[in-house]
Amino acid sequence: MPASEIADLHVKLIAAHRAGDLATVRMLFERTLPLLNMQAVFRWRLTKEVLRRRGLIESAYVRAPGPQLDRHDLAELDQLLAALEPLMREMGSSLDLRQTV
């Protein structure tokens, strides 16, 4: 399953692929890949943090053990999401970059 935190971007990518719009496919792939690379390390912790920031869940709490997001990781996540923000807003998706808990 694609990363659920950006499923709406995956839907747009697949639609572009089906329409033969390879330029959009490439653009979406290149813009989402850094976040997907980070998600591969932190798994559910990152997924839930992004879902929380998007207002889709209230807590990013994870029961399963795994690497913790420290302040440097959260700063990196801020930058990755800031890069995606214009694209997500264009699509009407919600994204809250605040790190409020």
Q: Could you tell me which of 27, 31, 30, 37 has the C-alpha nearest to residue 3?
A: 37
pLDDT band with cut points at 50, 70 and 90 for residue 96: low
Q: Is the pLDDT of residue 48 over 90?
A: yes
* pLDDT tens figures, 13-36: 999 999 999 999 999 999 999 999
pLDDT band with cut points at 50, 70 and 90 for residue 95: low
pLDDT for 8 equals: 87
Burial status of residue 92 (CB atoms within 10 A of its CB: 0-12, 13-18, 19 or more): exposed
Length of the chain: 101
